[in-house]
Amino acid sequence: MSKFKDKNTKSNMDIKTNYKDKKYKKVVNGIELQKALNDKDTEIIFLEDGEYNLLNNKITISLDNKIIVGSDGAVFIDEIVIKADAFLQRVKFINKSKTYRNDVIIHILGGAEVVLDGIIIDGCNLEETVGINLEKNSGSKITLMNSYINNVDTGIEVNENNILGKIINNKFSNILIGIKNLGQGSVIENLYNVIYNTFEFKEKGIAIAFSTGVNLGKDKVRLVTDGINFARILSINNGYALVKGYGIFNHISTKTFKVSNGEELDKAIQNSDNGNIILLSKGKYYGNICITKEIAIIGEDDVSIIPSENYDEDFTQYGLRINSSNLFIKNLTIDGKGNGKLRKDICYFRDGIRYEGEINNNNKFVNIHIKNIRRRGISIWPENIRGTEIRNCIVENVLEQQYIYMNGSGKIKNCILNNAVVSICQSMDYAKNKK
């Protein structure tokens, strides 16, 4: 639906201006609307205030490239069926169906590519109601922006062999599941275009549910194999929403813990499962933090990892001790002189970040400030490490050895290493793969 790619956030006036030479109609009821939809020459349809439905059928879009623009008082009161490419803006749907369960409010099929912008869907809390349904194996695509889906069990039901396009800046309220049936053959075109959405649940619910066979990409579609990173990106980009895996991804959940002190942090790490996210509130946390699960640890504001005054001076302290793969660590300061109760002339952390396990792959460190370290800023010494990413980090005042010691393969991007004697020590394997 290339026609709509640059027009899916236009205002009514923009549409009128850009299509001033096109044929348009104003309609006041469902019968007039269906006639306009069946007219191959009519491209834009403006809805006047009123209720829109058909007595013995569903309003159906069967011809490509129809644009429907609503008004404040225009309301669809029954299911609409979309079988062709279409763009709907400022349209309201209120479920007044006499069926009390298994209702679908917008049903998309036939390979249609549909853009919905600024729409409102109210399912009226009828049982098992779905806001937007893409018929199984229909090769259809949905783009949803700036919209509000309320009082339904499921916001968007993607289903097999359909496509999720841009899902941006929407509110899902009083629901059980926001987006579901992202499974066998379904595709998210761009993971970073599912963003800025909020989810509020009727009861304990799930924002996004995905399972075996979900794919990513547009021109080159690939099967999702890294379920933790997939779920984590979706969660972080949508306000730490709960993303849950099923099938082979059944062990993955982005349950979020928010902690404000070291004791809470320790408990959160112990109680976490793969894919969980731990948010650190502003403050100072003792180091020697041992991470053994595939989780994310993110500082929200001015979070420092500092040495403890309760250790004997002969006891080796590190900032973070890494014993897991698929970690995402962001927005921390690791300061070997950060504890005002200790001597100011000693760097108490031997390493800022130290790998301890032999197989710690695909770890990402972003926006980490490491300073006042005795030996190494970041020490990745095992030889078989793969997929490390160190990005937007600052390392300074490392006394003895390397600011970054990098074995295995990975990337170091956009980092600042201040006044280093040896900035980066890399293995031959890293040197071959750093690009």
Torsion, Cα 47 49 54 59, to 10 degrees, reads 30
DSSP letter string over 229-243? HHHHHHHHTTTS--E
CA dist 242 and 163 (Å) reads: 21
Residue 423, CA atoms < 13 Å, CB-side half-sphere: 8
pLDDT tens-digit map of 338-365: 999 999 999 999 999 999 977 789 999 9
pLDDT of res. 201: 94
Task: For the chain, 435 residues long, give each residue's pLDDT as a single digit of tens.
Answer: 434 544 444 444 454 445 566 799 999 999 999 999 999 999 999 999 999 999 889 999 999 999 999 999 999 999 999 999 999 999 999 987 655 555 899 999 999 999 999 999 999 877 789 999 999 999 999 999 999 999 999 999 999 999 999 999 999 999 999 999 999 999 999 999 999 999 999 888 999 999 999 999 998 899 999 999 999 999 999 999 999 999 999 999 999 999 999 999 999 999 999 999 999 999 999 999 999 999 999 999 899 999 999 877 668 999 999 999 999 999 999 999 999 999 999 999 999 999 997 778 999 999 999 999 999 999 998 888 999 999 999 999 999 999 999 988 899 999 999 987 778 887 654 444 443
HEC profile of 84-124: CCEEEECCEEECCCCCCECCEEEEECCCCEEEEECCEEECC
The two three-digit tokens of residue 60, written as one number: 């159906």
399: nearest Cα among 336, 320, 322, 333: 336
pLDDT of res. 202: 86
pLDDT of res. 431: 43
The two three-digit tokens of residue 76, written as one number: 């669809």
HEC profile of 345-357: CCCCEEEEEEECC
pLDDT tens-digit map of 214-233: 999 998 899 999 999 999 99
Instruction: Kindly state the helix (H) or strand (E) to which residue 31 belongs, with its residue range.
Output: helix 30-38
pLDDT of res. 17: 46
Instruction: Kindly state the helix (H) or strand (E) to which residue 431 belongs, with its residue range.
Output: helix 428-433
Instruction: Kindly state the helix (H) or strand (E) to which residue 12 belongs, with its residue range.
Output: helix 12-18
CA dist 75 and 121 (Å) reads: 10
Number of Cβ atoms within 10 Å of the Cβ of 281 = 16
Reduced to 3 states (helix: H, G, I; strand: E, B; else coil), residue 374 is strand
pLDDT of res. 102: 54
CA dist 142 and 159 (Å) reads: 12
208: nearest Cα among 123, 190, 237: 237
Tokens 């956009």 identify what position?
Answer: 414
pTM, 2 dp: 0.89
